[in-house]
């Protein structure tokens, strides 16, 4: 239940910070993948963060932010000047 709440909060914060981000299901999917990735990183011991129940919110938030930024880069429209993105 706490994991689902963390995914929903991360999705809503992303939608508030970047309103024209794209479809809501895509943002929700990236948040869920970030939570799973954060738990894998925390479980492997690379980022030992405090746990609240079975969720590691620091590791989860870092991986969710990385995936959301990557998703924003991938889904960004092409540059109107015709130059490629770097």
Cα(18)–Cα(24) distance, rounded to whole angstroms? 12
- pTM: predicted TM-score of the whole model, two decimal places: 0.74
Spatial neighbors of 39 by CB under 8 A, at least 6 apart, are 55, 56, 59, 60
Q: Computed over its alpha carbons, how large is the radius of gyration of the chain?
A: 15
**pLDDT (tens digit per residue) in 34-63:** 988 888 888 777 666 666 666 778 888 888
Question: Which pLDDT belongs to residue 48?
Answer: 64
| CA distances in angstroms from 85 to 37, 70, 72, 78, listed in the order given | 27, 13, 12, 8
The sign of the dihedral angle between the CA atoms of 15, 28, 11, 8 is positive
Which sequence spans correspond to the domains of the chain?
A: 2-75
């Amino acid at each position: 239940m706490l994991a689902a709440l963390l995914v929903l909060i991360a999705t809503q914060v992303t939608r508030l910070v970047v309103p024209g981000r794209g479809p809501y299901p895509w943002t929700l999917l990236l948040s869920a993948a970030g939570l799973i990735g954060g738990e894998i990183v925390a479980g492997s011991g690379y980022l030992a963060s405090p746990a609240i129940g079975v969720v590691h919110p620091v590791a989860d938030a870092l991986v969710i932010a990385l995936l959301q930024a990557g998703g924003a880069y991938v889904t960004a429209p092409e540059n109107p000047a015709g130059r490629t993105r770097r």
